Amino acid sequence: MSGILYLVFLHPEILMGIKIFQLGRIYAWIDPESYKSGEGFNLIKALLAIGSGGVSGYKGSGVYVPEAHTDFIFSVIASKYGFLGSSILITIYFFLISGMVKLALDVKNSFESYLCVGVVSMIFFHIFENIGMNIGLLPITGIPLPFISYGGSSLMGNMLAIGLIFSISYRKRAFMFGIKRNLLKRGHLFVMNY
Residue 150: what residue type? Y
Q: Tell me how far apart the alpha carbons of residues 182 and 185 are, in angstroms, rounded to a whole number.
A: 5
Cβ(123)–Cβ(96) below 8 Å: yes
Q: What is the pTM of this model?
A: 0.76
The rounded average pLDDT for each run of 10 residues, N- to C-terminus, in the chain (194 residues) is 71 65 75 79 86 83 79 90 94 96 91 94 95 89 89 91 92 57 50 40
pLDDT value at position 175? 47
Residue 58 DSSP symbol: -
Q: Tell me how far apart the alpha carbons of residues 184 and 173 are, in angstroms, rounded to a whole number.
A: 17
Instruction: For residue 48, give every residue at least 6 positions away whose Cβ sits within 8 Å of its Cβ, in sequence order, or none.
Output: 63
Taking the domains of the chain in order of start, what are their residue ranges?
23-188
pLDDT value at position 193? 39
The helix-helix angle for 110-134 and 73-106 (nearest 10°) equals 160
Residue 74 DSSP symbol: H
